[in-house]
Amino acid sequence: MKDNVYKLIGDITTLATIVSDKTEVDVFIRYSAHVHLLDVSIHPMGWNKGDERCAYHELYINKKGALDSLNNIKQHLIKILKRKKVDLTKIH
């Protein structure tokens, strides 16, 4: 299970970088190792101080349901890239 979690975190980090680079959407990721907490915030119109419009995901990667949550975040980022017509086949 841990290998799957690590792989998904890597995929999410890669996708977040691509989303932030290729679209106006800003994605922030923070991992707090001492508590195994992953925070992901997705700002659809880019980041602006005080702007609360974002999708926020907070999950403890060592808890039950972490794989499902990580997969959901990954799919959310892929959906953004598809909606913005970013060709994922040319990114690798």
Residue 89 DSSP label = G
Classify strands 37-43 and 55-60 as parallel, antiparallel or unpaired: antiparallel
The whole-number pLDDT of residue 30 equals: 98
The CA distance from 91 to 37, in Å, is 28
Cα–Cα distances in angstroms (integers) from residue 51 to residues 11, 47, 87, in the given order = 27, 7, 29
Q: What is the mean pLDDT of residues 36-63?
A: 91
Quote the Cα angle for 62-65-71, to 5°.
100
Tens digits of per-residue pLDDT, 61-91? 999 999 999 999 999 999 999 999 999 887 7
The CA distance from 7 to 20, in Å, is 20
Q: The domain 2-90 is classified under which CATH number: 1.20.1070, 3.90.1570, 3.90.226, 3.30.720? A: 3.30.720
